[in-house]
Structure 1
Amino acid sequence: MSAHQGEGPGKQASASAPERAGLCCCLLAFCAALLLAAGCARQEPPTSKPAPPVSATPGLPGGNPTPDPRAQQRPVATVSPQVTRTLTIWGPDFRAPLDESPAGAEFRLQIQAFEAAHPGWRVEYVRKKPYGQGGLVHFLRATHVVAPELLPDLVLVDMSEIGLLAGDSLLQPLDTLLGPEITSDLLPFAREAGEVDGKLLAVQDEADLRFLAYNSAVIAEPPSTWAEVLASRASYLLPIGATEGSVRDAFLPQYLAVGGKLVDREGQPYLDPALVKAVLEVYQSAREAGLLPVAGLDLKDAGDCWPVYLTSRVAMTNVSSWDYGRERTSKLANTRVGPLPTLSGNPISLSSGWGWALISTRTERQTVAAELLRALLRPETMAARCRLTYHLPTRRSALRLTIEDAAYLEFLERVIEVTVPQPREPAYSLAVKALGPAIEAVAEGELSPEAAAAKAVEAMRTARQEMASGSQP
């Protein structure tokens, strides 16, 4: 097993749709040169000597394998012991199987166990930027055009970007290769996130959910509707500036809960003006009542709100399962959790996360790649990783192994049933660009909800026209 650098480290905000999709000529030339230079590393010489590992950034874990009796019934690829073949993974820096973090070390051990069980195969993890030009999706699409023989066998990708890769016919169906013991155990939102046209093209292996955290010393019961929020007179800290987090972590769940869509029946980017206006109206009412703290204008997402909540008398805030999981057993004597309040009272949560997709079209390589995925997706393996990373596993059986607190597990199992995946690109990034300024304008009192909604809808319509005309690939 080896891991090496593809691009520089660092996680950045989701890029816009043009940045993700644009395959301009200069980039293709650059990618071609870079990929061809890397071609030697991708070739599989007739030698059993492993490539030396090189330095990389911390990653996420795998887990210790356990025997799987079903494996005897599945096809197993075999090669001559004199030949070593390489199964190549492209993934983000922070998921690399390296010892810089406990999670990365766990992942490394799992890969090494797989290699030991499959003589003649080694696993190579090539690190890429997670987003933007030269990032995973951009690099995959460019390689597909200029040097398809250098594509990896597997890729770890943000689940919201699955649609971009599926449109290029890069992803191979996983249902049959993984088998029903895995696919039938996936949480509903994870199945939805990875499914395109009825086929499972990616399998999410970790997730973060959004829900309400509230101070039980300030309010006895969490509100289930925005009418109850306003009646409670309790402060509700949300990101309300022109940021991605203000859309993803606060506005978007409200919009989706009342039936809002980011694409129309033809799959084109779309915003419902009446529903955007309705959500902005409750924001306006809460700001005028002094319930949405002005500090939210300077907080980019729920992650920024969380430490403010912990150190102040704010009554409520939206929190991710990742942030809450890290603090749950230490600093939260008075904190309780509940579903997000919505306009209609219909509970909702939004999930995000990363998952695996199969790129290789060769049967033997698909078989080996599927065996690796089945090893990494075993319940005990997922639980071992998620206990270290504080992300949630996406199999029901793994969730029950991961969360030991019975009350919190029961809450999560209820929230999971109303969770929807983060909308896909490119509509998601276009919605962020359109809605962020509208949220901030209403929060600062610069525009009425109706005027701000109209501007957001027009921005989405303009982006749609640009895409149709080809100015936004």
Structure 2
Amino acid sequence: MNKKVSLLLILLLWLTVGCDLASSFNQAISEESTPIPAESGTAVATSTAAPQTTPDIAIPTSPVTQTRPTLRVWLPPEIALATDEGAAVLNAQLAAYRSNHPYLDLIVEQKGVGGQSGILNYLRTGRAVAPDILPDLIAIPTDQLSLALSEELIYPLGNLVDTSLLEDLYPSALNLVLKDNQLGGYPFVLTGLTHLTYNSETVTNTIPNRWEPFIAQPNSFVFPANGLAGGTLGLQFYLAAGGTLTNEAGQVALQVEPLATALQQLFIAENDGFILDQSSNYSTFQESWQLFQAGTANVALTNSEQYLRLRDANGAYQVTAVPGLDRSLNPLVTGWAWAISTSDPTRRELAAELLNTLIDSNNLGDWCYASKYLPSRQAALAFWPEDDAYLPFASDQLSRASAMPVSSTSNIMTVLNNAVFDVITLTKTPQVAAEEAVAALQQ
């Protein structure tokens, strides 16, 4: 009798602990899970038993029999909800895919990309606890591909994407996803392409493609000098001056002279009053745009995403490339990529089929235009309205663009951000700022 009571107590204790563990894990996971809202009556997350809210990750207590194949997709809000119109287009494309695949349950969930609640971290922790509810297809920033591949959180595309779809990519887009001769994902959006915007009602002279005559014009220029945008502008000048990002030993490094040359351009423009002093207060394009929109500055540094979202309906805000040392600076771009996150061959095929549908030139072109993003494919850009004045400029800049060579969180960008800020605030000369930046990387 005592043995039976003891056995019963042990069983009850085991069940209690198991439930507590499942409850704790469910709560942590479900906090960041948000389904994409339906537009025009079309549901994005679709399955025969799909609830109205994102399902929790739970530890299964009994075997589950799958009667239909399920394809799970995780999207960040930057993609799922870029704009209201973009969300509606994406919903319509997913609904059409579901209609053409009635045998398949398509479940789309919204997840962030950073920190403990980011997609990659969920993939790390979820595999040991609830692998059955992890995604088959994800969208992540291209600078996360290398880490995801090295940890086997995603898998190389191999031959799952037709060669013609790779050949149609802008060169910078392909370079963003090639990791150790492997295709880590398929880039579908290019971001961060910087250029100038100016008020054509007050800027009457043609903006030259060289920096020196540009800053001699009677205009006022604003840009976010206290952050990544400032550091990226410094990097563009540095590369144009012949600078490299590694030394002879292959170590990360900067060179003093080309960096001093790059910083000198900004120092002179600030010292002569061409760059507004307020630039050093701003760290984002959103902040500096307000000064431009208010008319305090008639020329501003912006990027493609911001310009497409905020350009005026009357067409007064025109665009041109950023002037450089001898010619306009080459744009540096990052982007977003589709990546396959399942090792199961059957599910990989299903994920690849949806991926190929979404990157179809018509689908990608429509979604990018609605979402205010530049597409990675030349054929997709061709689907934009021909009367859009931004189209020929975007096409030219995308053809000239290079892949961002370093991560936004790298040590190189940190020291460049600081160096640009120091010369814009006139607290250091270009030579001193360059020497300190080079030394900081060697520590």
Q: Provide TM-score, normalisation by structure 2.
A: 0.79
The higher radius of gyration belongs to: 2
The alpha carbon displacement at 1:326 in A equals: 2.8
In structure 2, distance between residues paired with 1:328 and 1:93: 22
- CA deviation string 1:300-349 (max 9, x = no partner): 1233222321221523221212222234451432x322111112325311
Unaligned runs of 5+ in 1: 1-29, 42-47, 57-80, 463-473
Alignment partner of 1:246 out of 198, 214, 230 = 230
Match of 1:256 in 2: 239
Match of 1:348 in 2: 330
The alpha carbon displacement at 1:439 in A equals: 1.7
Alignment partner of 1:231 out of 216, 224, 230 = 216
- Relative distance call for 1:85 and 1:33 in structure 2 (3 A) is farther
- Relative distance call for 1:347 and 1:104 in structure 2 (3 A) is same
- Relative distance call for 1:312 and 1:168 in structure 2 (3 A) is same
- AA of the residue aligned to 1:218: V
Q: Which moved more, 1:141-150 or 1:230-239?
A: 141-150
Match of 1:232, SS state, is coil
Q: Is the 8 A contact 2:195 2:319 kept in 1?
A: yes
- Relative distance call for 1:31 and 1:434 in structure 2 (3 A) is farther
Alignment partner of 2:396 out of 405, 408, 414 = 414
Show the 5 A alignment for 1:284-363. Answer: 284-328=267-311, 330-333=313-316, 335-363=317-345
Alignment partner of 2:76 out of 92, 116, 123 = 92
The alpha carbon displacement at 1:175 in A equals: 5.0
In structure 2, distance between residues paired with 1:383 and 1:240: 33
- Relative distance call for 1:192 and 1:144 in structure 2 (3 A) is farther
In structure 2, distance between residues paired with 1:281 and 1:89: 48
- CA deviation string 1:87-132 (max 9, x = no partner): 222231343379x933223222322222232233222233322223
In structure 2, distance between residues paired with 1:329 and 1:315: 14
- AA of the residue aligned to 2:442: R
Q: Is 1:431 matched up with 2:412?
A: yes
Q: Is 1:218 matched up with 2:203?
A: yes
In structure 2, distance between residues paired with 1:183 and 1:175: 12
Q: Is the 8 A contact 2:406 2:412 kept in 1?
A: no
Q: Is the 8 A contact 1:185 1:395 kept in 2?
A: yes
Match of 1:401, SS state, is coil
Tell me how large the CA RMSD over aligned residues is.
3.2
Show the 5 A alignment for 1:5-404. Answer: 34=25, 49-54=48-53, 83-96=67-80, 101-143=84-126, 151-208=134-191, 209-216=193-200, 217-241=202-226, 243-248=227-232, 250-263=233-246, 268-328=251-311, 330-333=313-316, 335-404=317-386
Q: Is the 8 A contact 2:221 2:300 kept in 1?
A: yes
Match of 2:216, SS state, is helix
- AA of the residue aligned to 1:459: A
Q: Which moved more, 1:135-144 or 1:190-199?
A: 135-144
In structure 2, distance between residues paired with 1:215 and 1:31: 58
Match of 2:4 in 1: none
In structure 1, distance between residues paired with 2:291 and 2:297: 8
The alpha carbon displacement at 1:265 in A equals: 6.8
Identity across the alignment (%): 27
In structure 2, distance between residues paired with 1:53 and 1:301: 36
Alignment partner of 1:441 out of 422, 425, 428 = 422
Q: Is the 8 A contact 1:154 1:359 kept in 2?
A: yes
- AA of the residue aligned to 2:379: S
Match of 1:73 in 2: none
Q: Is the 8 A contact 1:219 1:315 kept in 2?
A: no
In structure 1, distance between residues paired with 2:98 and 2:104: 6
Match of 1:370, SS state, is helix
Match of 1:213, SS state, is strand
- AA of the residue aligned to 1:227: E
Q: Is the 8 A contact 2:198 2:298 kept in 1?
A: yes
Q: Is 1:459 matched up with 2:440?
A: yes
- CA deviation string 1:222-274 (max 9, x = no partner): 12122222332532212222x223223x3232223334444557765333332
Q: Is the 8 A contact 1:350 1:420 kept in 2?
A: yes
Q: Is the 8 A contact 2:140 2:337 kept in 1?
A: yes
- Relative distance call for 1:415 and 1:37 in structure 2 (3 A) is closer
- AA of the residue aligned to 2:220: S
- CA deviation string 1:164-222 (max 9, x = no partner): 22332433222521102321211221111111123221222122321122334324111
Q: Provide TM-score, normalisation by structure 1.
A: 0.75
In structure 1, distance between residues paired with 2:26 and 2:437: 40
- Relative distance call for 1:393 and 1:450 in structure 2 (3 A) is same
- AA of the residue aligned to 2:258: L
- Relative distance call for 1:404 and 1:267 in structure 2 (3 A) is farther
Unaligned runs of 5+ in 2: 1-20, 34-46, 56-64
- Relative distance call for 1:137 and 1:455 in structure 2 (3 A) is farther
Match of 2:297, SS state, is coil
Q: Is the 8 A contact 1:159 1:354 kept in 2?
A: yes
Q: Which moved more, 1:371-380 or 1:262-271?
A: 262-271
Match of 2:16 in 1: none
Q: Is the 8 A contact 1:35 1:143 kept in 2?
A: no
